[in-house]
Amino acid sequence: MKATIRIGILVAIILTLAGGMAFAGDAICLELDGKLIETDVAPIIENSRTLVPYRALLESMGAEVSWEQEAEMATAILGSHRVQVTIDKTTAFVNGVTKEMDVPPRLINNRTMIPLRFVLENLKCTVDWNNDTRTVIINSPKTDGPSEIRTIAYEETDDSYRIIARGSEAIKNTRTFAYEGPERYGIDIFNAAFPDRVGSIKADNQVFSGVRFSQFDDDTVRIVVDLNEKVAGKVSLSEDRSEVYIDFDKPGSEGNRGHEGEDEQNPGEVNEDLQGILPELDWRATGKLIAIDAGHGGADPGATGKINGKEVLIERDLNLAIALRLHQLLDQAGANVVLLRDSDITMSLYSRPEAANTMNADLLISVHNNSAHNSTSNGTEVLYYDKVGIESYGITSKELAAYIQKELVAEIGLKDRGIINCPHLAVLNKSLMPAVIIEGGFLSNPDDLAVMLTEEFKEAYAVAAARGIINSLNAWADR
């Protein structure tokens, strides 16, 4: 009985602390899959929404939960679904896409209290309320997937040959692969079932002769494309993640790479000017989508470099110039690359990882330069944060950071500050793919600034970043 008394005291404390919150009568019970669950802090009701301590409940249903102290953000992953909420903010991220809640999560008595229905329904649980017993009745998702692949179809669009796999549920993750002799390109859809077991489509187009698919193992559906030549497909997902698209650019079409008028070369065709400058990109990695973020922009200038009190360099402009060149280099190397901003516009910090998530980018590269309050800090560093649940990309943020830092230091020649784990930066922790922030040099350091004012610096930065990215993609292809 002691436990009950203690809970009673805690509830009293919450009531005292949480002035404006209405607490309706008796305690609220939580029932998960037919069993009552005990939480150390009792659920409360705010604006007709039930708030529950998130860790106790979610862990008892087998969800993976984590807490980021600086961002005050709680993350829950259950099966293929991920919900992220922040204390006192009504904006949540559901599978990386923003959604609004009626009431925000609260920090009460050192416990994160989350809006129960919002979080659980977005984790695909069902939530009911029994008013007589004052019990919240929760049922976990019937199964943790698998997504049943109902159809696999082939269609020709204006500029691509497309294979579409339609699933019954959101698809958690996929992995692409490629083989030579004979050339094949394929994708594994994890946590998926294909009731027909095997199937095939004949497709006599310029790029491939056919598509085969099968239940590869207990929970993986494999699609293999028999290629006529060495070309990689580009994989994307529908917004609700229930459909997977594999697109092969039609030879001669611009595909979805690059920007109008920038170059006329065909996809996969490598520009001769790059010989000796960049390593050759493994054809098997050419479908991986690289999102490049030019840091700051528009109303946000970032750091400024001054000589004798006069502004001589603005980070916003420097980052953009480097990002444009990096994009051009990777594009010419045959990579699948997109810029999040290609002009001097204002973009919020959060919109950058969100944009990369929405386009299902495989890598996110954020181009920045540094500054400090003192004028002595100098050198080059790359920031990363190794997130959970992204193993299927085949390369981690830390590895990506190391590949890029190595090239930057060799090419630019500023002090090597190494790679740094930074869990609290939005670009790194809100993105769902391996991501890094490059800090080329310090605008606040006179020696770095003198280097950074040169054209050679921008070129060296872009070339080195492109090399590091290509090296990491090639390493991925070899795995």
Q: Active-site residues: which are they?
A: 439
Residue type, 68: E
Mapped onto helix, strand or coil, the DSSP state of residue 286 is: coil
Residue with tokens 């000017």: 273
**Phi then psi for 322, rounded to 5 degrees?**
-70, -45
Site pattern 273..302 for Zn ion (x: CB under 5 A) = ----------------------x------x
Binding part of the chain for Zn ion, among 60-68, 274-282, 348-356, 361-369 by CB under 5 A, reads 361-369
Q: How far apart are CA 283 and CA 281, in angstroms?
A: 6
Tokens 């056919």: give the residue: 210
Taking the least distance from each CB to Zn ion, the nearer of 360 and 429 is 429
CB of 343 to Zn ion, least distance (A): 17
Contacts of 234 (CB under 8 A, 6+ apart): 246, 247, 248, 249, 255, 256, 287, 289, 336
Measured CA to CA, the distance from residue 324 to residue 385 in angstroms comes to 25
CB of 304 to Zn ion, least distance (A): 11
| Distance from C-alpha of 451 to C-alpha of 457, rounded to nearest angstrom | 6
For Zn ion, which is the closer residue by CB, 128 or 300?
300
Q: Which is nearer to Zn ion, 112 or 445 (CB)?
A: 445
In sequence order, the 6+-apart residues with CB closer than 8 A to the CB of 80 are 144, 145, 147, 169, 170, 171, 172, 173, 191, 241
305 contributes a contact to Zn ion by CB under 5 A: no
Report the residue from 368, 387, 417, 458 that binds Zn ion according to the rule CB under 5 A. 368
Minimum CB–partner distance for residue 426 and Zn ion (Å) = 12
Q: How far is the CB of 381 from Zn ion (least distance, A)?
A: 12
Closer Cβ to Zn ion, 288 or 368, answer by number: 368
**β-strand partners of 4:** none
Q: Among 160-168, 171-179, 322-330, 365-373, which window interacts with Zn ion (CB under 5 A)? A: 365-373
| Alpha carbons 469 and 460: distance in angstroms, whole number | 14
Supply the minimum distance, in Å, between the C-beta of residue 315 and Zn ion: 5
CB of 295 to Zn ion, least distance (A): 4
Kindly tell me which of 315 and 331 has the beta carbon lying closer to Zn ion: 315
Instruction: Provide the token pair at 327.
Output: 């994009």
Smallest separation, CB 447 to Zn ion (Å): 19
**Residue with smallest beta-carbon separation from Zn ion:** 368
Q: What is the DSSP string of 73-132?
A: EEEEEETTEEEEEETT--EEEETTEEEE-SS--EEETTEEEEEHHHHHHHTT-EEEEETT
Residues in binding contact with Zn ion, number by CB under 5 A: 3
Contacts with Zn ion, 30-69, as mask; x by CB under 5 A: ----------------------------------------
Element (H, E) at 202: strand 198-202
Cβ nearer to Zn ion, comparing 224 with 425 = 425
Whose Cβ is closer to Zn ion: residue 288's or residue 327's?
Answer: 327
Over the window 375 to 404, marking each residue x when it contacts Zn ion by CB under 5 A and - when it does not, the resulting string is: ------------------------------
- Positions touching Zn ion (CB under 5 A) are 295, 302, 368
